[in-house]
Amino acid sequence: MIYNNSDLKLFFTEFLSSEFTKLQFIPELHIIQVGQDFASTKYISLKQKFGEKIGVKVILHQFSENSDLVEIKSIIEMAKTQNFGLIFQLPVSERFQELVLETPLFSDVDLLGKDKNHLFSLNFLTPTLGAIDLVLKEMLTQEVPNIGKQLDLSGKLVAVIGQGRLVGSPLLDYLKNRNATIISLNKNTKKPQNLVRLAEIVICGAGSPGLVNSDWLDPKSVVIDAATTEDSGALTGDVDYINVPESVYLSTSPGGIGRITVMYIFYNLLKLAQLKKI
């Protein structure tokens, strides 16, 4: 069965629209894009459209790989004084990695800056983890989730496919903090299908199109595909969703957590704005 996130998107949109109107000052979201990347450009468009829907201004700053770093540093400095959210749209080349780390604490909606651990200590989640959290809550309970309530995964066996920076690696800490029993797989894992079939919950973030099929999955498992890769001009995930058992409860990619990830960026922007008032 394919998971439908329509109820969650509607609920989250209405929640954010309402909460932003309660602020004395609605912060802007600024996006720095270096170079051109198919998937990144697609996600920027989604952020711009969603920001317009909930009344948050989204401003895009585009640079080439040869751009002067001083130009980008000036935007970072403005963020410190003008209280806007700031995103470096990934991927960025090695030349710009140091600037990503300089994202100011109260602007860091992606949690990629050097002070991100402070935000983690305040129960912030990266947008991808936040989206996985909300989707998983709804898939397990069949109810629109409580945004702020921590999910308890005690007794659940969860397989994480991939150990990347944005999904697999931070997901392990998330699951540990929610008392899950974890199977972590990487490209060197031998016979990964045998391990994944043991899991009640499977979360994919390998970035390998069509990697996971019916041979990998318990027919009663809950599966979240959190990978997004360009393949022949289209975005695709890790799960070959056409060739999985119909009884598997599957959140596909694209179509599952991508839009919720975009929304969660604005949720972090909201929380940071609220935090600055404390």
4-18, 32-46, 56-70, 258-272: lowest mean pLDDT where?
32-46
54-58, 65-69, 103-107, 199-203: lowest mean pLDDT where?
65-69
**Sign of torsion, CA 12 175 163 214?**
negative
Structural domains of the chain sorted by starting position, each given as residue range(s) with its CATH number in brackets:
6-124+259-276 (3.40.50.10860), 127-256 (3.40.50.720)
Looking at residue 253, its amino acid is: S
Supply the pLDDT for residue 251.
96
Residues 5, 135 contacting (CB under 8 angstroms): yes
Per-residue model confidence as pLDDT tens digits over 51-61: 999 999 999 99
Q: Which residues contact 277 (CB under 8 A, 6 or more apart)?
A: none
Longest dimension (CA), the chain: 55
Q: Where are the alpha helices (DSSP H) in 22-159?
A: 38-54, 69-82, 94-101, 116-121, 127-141
Q: What is the dihedral of CA 115, 263, 220, 189, to 10 degrees?
A: -40
Per-residue model confidence as pLDDT tens digits over 191-212: 999 999 999 999 999 999 999 9
Per-residue model confidence as pLDDT tens digits over 224-237: 999 988 777 777 88
C-alpha to C-alpha distances, 132 to 135, 223, 275, 276, nearest whole angstrom: 5, 11, 23, 26
